[in-house]
Amino acid sequence: MATDRDLDRTRERIMTAALTEFAAKGLAGARTDAIARRAGVNERMIFYCFETKEGLYREVLRRKLSEKVHIIESSDDDFATTLVKGYESCCDDMRHVRMWQWEALDSGRRKIVAEEERRALIQREIAQIRRAQLRGDLPADIDEDLLMLVRIGLQIAPVALPQFTRLVAGMDPDDPKFRRRWSKCLRAIADRIAAPRSAAGHRHRNASEVQQNVQ
């Protein structure tokens, strides 16, 4: 008889195979028999462990979410560092980026899988941005939810649209040289977003205020 440990290993193998299949074909296109074959298990084990294909998909997403929760809780990074780390995490596992894209193309307006957990997680990230605004580390004149979308766009775009990265920069998004260049660019953009706007020289301000700042 299978021990608990055997079952854990089987679940693990299925989830690894499922991530690859979902990244290749999306939830709608993925086939449980292909996942079973890739994992080297009987297809019935998928239904025994996860009930449905969607149940398996949810578990694959949940694992990613729990990694993110850990990262959010364990760090109090500034906007620039969070942005660069978020981008590097996209590069390190492009399969999740592909899953988001399949979902975008696939789902139309129907309810997405694990919606409530995902909303709760993103709202925690938005709350972090809000705290940074209150500390004066991010501009208060841009809504915190939109700053979150700015972050998502900048960290995902070159990975999600690799053909544009190649057309624009002549490099694949997973080229280490491109990764270094983009990380540096993200930091420069984030610094500019974070910089106190009132201090920009081409806007009007009181010269004595400026002098206080530069001392």
Q: How far is the CB of 46 from its own copies (least distance, A)?
A: 24
Neighbours of 27 (CB within 10 A): 21
In angstroms, rounded to a whole number, what is the distance separating the alpha carbons of residues 80 and 186? 7
Over the window 8 to 47, marking each residue x when it contacts its own copies by CB under 8 A and - when it does not, the resulting string is: ------------------x---------------------
**Binding status of residue 183 toward its own copies by CB under 8 A:** no
For every residue of 65-130, which 3-state class applies, written as one string? HHHHHHHHHHCCCCHHHHHHHHHHHHHHCHHHHHHHHHHHHHHCCCCCCCHHHHHHHHHHHHHHHH
Note whether 77 and 71 are within 8 A (CB): no
CB of 105 to its own copies, least distance (A): 6
Q: Indicate which single residue of 49, 71, 72, 156 sits in contact with its own copies (rule: CB under 8 A).
A: 156
Q: How far apart are CA 46 and CA 36, in angstroms?
A: 7
In the bound complex, what is the minimum distance in angstroms from residue 132's beta carbon to its own copies? Answer: 15
Cβ 87 to its own copies, closest distance in Å? 10
- In the range 124-153, which residues lie near its own copies by CB under 8 A? 126, 139, 141-143, 145-150, 152-153
Give the shortest CB-52-to-its own copies separation in angstroms.
20
Q: What's the min distance (Å) between Cβ of 15 and its own copies? A: 21
Q: Is 165 in the site for its own copies (CB under 8 A)?
A: yes
Number of residues located near its own copies, criterion CB under 8 A: 68
Query: For its own copies, which residue of 73, 74, 135, 201 counts as binding (CB under 8 A)?
Result: 201
Identify the residue among 2, 7, 105, 127 touching its own copies (CB under 8 A): 105
Smaller CB separation from its own copies, 37 or 180: 180
Distance CA 197, CA 178 (A): 30
Please report, for residues 6, 103, 166, 168, 170, the alpha-carbon distance to residue 162 in angstroms, rounded to integers and kept in the order given: 39, 18, 6, 10, 10
Q: Which is nearer to its own copies, 40 or 153 (CB)?
A: 153
Report how far residue 52's alpha carbon sits from residue 135's, in angstroms, rounded to the nearest whole number: 46
